[in-house]
Structure 1
């Protein structure tokens, strides 16, 4: 007996092996049962990890899309699309295609940036798998404690004496089973069943090599090559537009350097031999520059200024994401402001658009949002989950600026009209924000910016003298900057290229615009603005810096005409 005890591994080793085995088993359970409710194109869909080594997108009566599994170890993914009518049984090509065309805007959101949908789904499945693993481990621990209590100390001792000497044999046998299973499922690429023919509609897309099954497969294969063509056209369109943005920014930097050089010469300061131009006296790359050599040195911004990039009315055009990313980098933006209407209808399926735009802004650059009438509480929740600061009627201090704002009081839904869910008119919302701004002025200090979606909401604040600068969107055209009341108003045009009655995704059918503003931390005012415009023909203009008019002086007593808090 003593000899047998000497062969038994120490207690800590036995417990360690047991814990590792349980954790691995729970992780396997969590991984193979992970699921998430997300969007796929215009539909809500259920994503599930399965033991079937395929990627299967189940479209109900429309059929299925079957592709090779994207996961290792023979695991697969099943995507069940909701909202497909179950009574769709007849193949009527004209009517079917007409119905599909009504959802084209949403389908293009998926085809425009499928990698964002994949990334979002992968993150959600990993999170769900982790939660399931922890829950399973907790259940096992509870069961163990219950069984341990039922057995009693004597019976536990007998079982330990029986199994302890065989710890390594049991461990080796379990490891051998796992190795055989992994090598048998993961060493050979898994292919679809041979009766599934590759669908030509997916050629050149992220789903290339996938097959369509079901009664509508022939119709889709025959007619919806238009969708694949749009995908390829869309990808190439924004790739070229982004290259044009880079070239236009280089040209704008050259113009600015030339203007600064001429100004120095006019002041008698530019004749010194070997003098370096602005932006060339830095030891390393500054904000907005790449680490490698650049053919055009970026001019240094004026001292004591904060650079702000403004977007608005993106309307789910995720094709603009790389251009926003380039604008953030090249401008050296220290703050990004979104004046609202990030989505089209404020639905769950449009959260992928929020996720896509979030990738354009580095984690160390604050992203502040004032949601618009086409957004919703669901949109706000998705933005917060991405770390964005969503304004809710109070003042926030970000990047040295004191910003006041709120979501739009109105909500517009396609087919449902415009309503006021908070029972507050635009005029009432404007008066409420005016009172907050005036109270801040009497207490913590004057705000620097009012960020709202609809320009009219800021009217009372500008007239009161408590709001020095208002930034908005909504109009889909640039207005200002111009003096209004005792303040200055600037309306940014649409960054998504949105226009009434036209698609806001896919190649632009209307100019898309962003703005770069410079805020002086000395005068506490915005001093310069430049506009970036992307035309439908992919030509890009990066404008010169324009001066921003200053707020109008208040009456001598500082309170005349002000509708401050009573």
Structure 2
């Protein structure tokens, strides 16, 4: 996938404008035909930045977005990326809106229209999203995670509504469950599903603070989260039953919000085999000047050393406690 071609397609789509339920189809640049194979256990060698770095015979390609926060330019770009990558499924990991208000239905409409026809779509509700956000997504053909294992484009996806609710007046719990409790509940569901022969391939959940019990039980091989407005990339941890890979992403607080894009915005391409295992991943970065950096396809990393895992957990705990001390995240988180 050529960076200049992606950027040009995005500029062309942006020039045509993004309106509710009337997002124009992006111009499509020709794709390279080379299809080198990526093996998840192999160490990366020379970076491969072509359109495909995995065997396309029996794979599912997903585009992951998160924390779009009603930025219509970035929302339009996600559709360009779906088209150019030949995505089978679009995954949105929450905080599509700023407060989940009724006027923000324009944001839901824009994403639904940006994703090309024929691409399956699944979304998780973030802390900034509301029940009306979820209802509108469902009405437009999205599978919205609900605490059960859902099959979408051949992948078994598990997730649920964020336990917090952020509105213009601040952040409050939606109920009695916190992020750790949500993670524990989803971990139990994932292990029950695995024992029943219906393994969840992916947990699509907004906050990474849910991860600990999901890793400890280790019944789902891939956890996806946003919320932190940082690109943390991909790590792997030895879980209770299997190695658990985690991707935590987002954008700088000016990367996705209403108005101009002022920080880098990150999206990801994920390639899965026929069994629902992650084969390879790559980062696509939209910069404030509308240029695009397309990262190399990368293999799934080996499990981290225990010291590295503990250091990351400490960083996450400090960040979560800081959020709690300030009454939750701000309207841009």
**TM-score in same-fold range (> 0.5):** yes
- Asked whether the 8 Å contact 2:271–2:280 carries over to 1, the reply is yes
Moved over 2 A (4+): 112-115, 297-301, 549-552
Unpaired segments ≥5 residues, structure 1: 1-111, 121-241, 262-296, 553-566
Distance 2:70 2:302 in 1: 34
Q: How much has 1:478 moved relative to structure 2? A: 1.7
1:188-203 equivalence runs, <5 A = none
Q: Contact 2:70 / 2:256 at 8 angstroms: preserved in 1?
A: no
Question: Could you say if the C-alpha distance between residues 298 and 544 of structure 1 is closer, same or farther in structure 2, counting changes exceeding 3 Å?
Answer: closer
Q: Distance in 1 between matches of 2:194 and 2:52?
A: 35
Give the corresponding residue for 1:361. 115
CA contact (8 A) 1:404 1:447 kept: yes
- Deviation per CA, 1:104-131: give whole Å up to 9, x if none: xxxxxxxx967327x69xxxxxxxxxxx
* Cα deviation, residue 520, structure 1: 1.3
Shift of 1:498: 3.7
Matched, 1:375 2:132: no
Contact 1:319 / 1:505 at 8 angstroms: preserved in 2?
A: no
Matched residues in 1 for 2:224 and 2:302: separation? 14
What SS is found at the alignment partner of 2:20? helix
- Please name the residue that 1:280 is paired with: none
The partner residue of 1:389 within 135, 139, 143 is: 143
For residues 484 and 299 of structure 1, what CA distance do their matches in structure 2 show? Answer: 27
What per-residue deviation string (whole Å, max 9, x for no partner) do you get for residues 192-229 of structure 1? xxxxxxxxxxxxxxxxxxxxxxxxxxxxxxxxxxxxxx
Counterpart of 1:321 in structure 2 is 75
Whole-angstrom CA distance in 1 between matches of 2:221 and 2:19: 42
Partner of 1:547: 299
Cα distance per residue 1:159-195 (max 9 Å; x no partner): xxxxxxxxxxxxxxxxxxxxxxxxxxxxxxxxxxxxx
By how many angstroms is 1:384 displaced? 0.9
Once the two structures are TM-superposed, the CA of residue 550 in structure 1 deviates from its matched residue by 5.7
**1:474 deviation in Å?**
0.7
Contact 1:464 1:485 in 2 (8 A): no
Bigger radius of gyration: 1
Q: Which residue of 2 aligns with 1:81?
A: none
Instruction: Give me the TM-score of the superposition, normalised by structure 2.
Output: 0.74
Larger mean Cα displacement after TM superposition, 388-397 or 481-490: 481-490
Counterpart of 2:279?
527
Aligned to 2:316: none
Alpha carbons 2:18, 2:76 under 8 Å: kept? no
TM-score when normalising by structure 1: 0.45
CA distance in 2, matches of 1:433, 1:344: 26
Match of 1:115 among 12, 15, 19: 19
Q: Does the 8 Å contact 1:450/1:458 carry over to 2? A: no
Q: Cα offset for 1:298?
A: 5.3
Secondary structure of 2:64's counterpart equals strand
Q: Which residue is 1:483 aligned to?
A: 236
**Deviation by residue 1:369-392 (Cα, 9 ceiling, x = unmatched):** 011011011110111111111001
Superposed displacement of residue 323, structure 1: 1.5
Match of 1:433 in 2: 186
SS in 2 for 1:506: coil
Count of residue pairs the alignment pairs up: 270
- Tell me, in whole angstroms, the C-alpha distance in 2 between the residues paired with 1:542 and 1:300: 13
User: Structure 2 CA distance, aligned partners of 1:455 and 1:512?
Assistant: 18
2: CA distance, partners of 1:363 / 1:114: 17
Structure 2 CA distance for partners of 1:322 and 1:503, relative to 1, 3 Å: closer
> Which structure has more helix as a fraction of its residues?
1
Superposed CA deviations along residues 33-82 of structure 1, whole A, max 9, x for unmatched, are xxxxxxxxxxxxxxxxxxxxxxxxxxxxxxxxxxxxxxxxxxxxxxxxxx
Distance 1:529 1:298, change over 3 A: closer
1:460 match:
213
* Distance change >3 Å, CA 387–CA 541, structure 1 → 2: same
The SS at the match of 2:203 is strand
- Separation in 2, partners of 1:299, 1:483: 23
Q: Secondary structure at the match of 2:73?
A: helix
Q: Which of 129, 153, 156 is the aligned partner of 1:399? A: 153
Instruction: Tell me the secondary structure at the aligned position of residue 180 of structure 2.
Output: helix
1:4 corresponding residue in structure 2: none
1:246-281 C-alpha deviation (Å, 9 max, x unpaired) = 78xx7xx66x94x959xxxxxxxxxxxxxxxxxxxx
Structure of greater relative contact order (alpha carbons < 8 Å, 6+ residues apart): 2
Q: CA contact under 8 A between 2:235 and 2:303: conserved in structure 1?
A: no
Q: Give the drift of 1:299.
A: 4.7
Alignment of 1:215-230 (within 5 A): none
Instruction: Find the aligned partners of 1:260 and 1:445 in 2 and give their Cα distance.
Output: 31
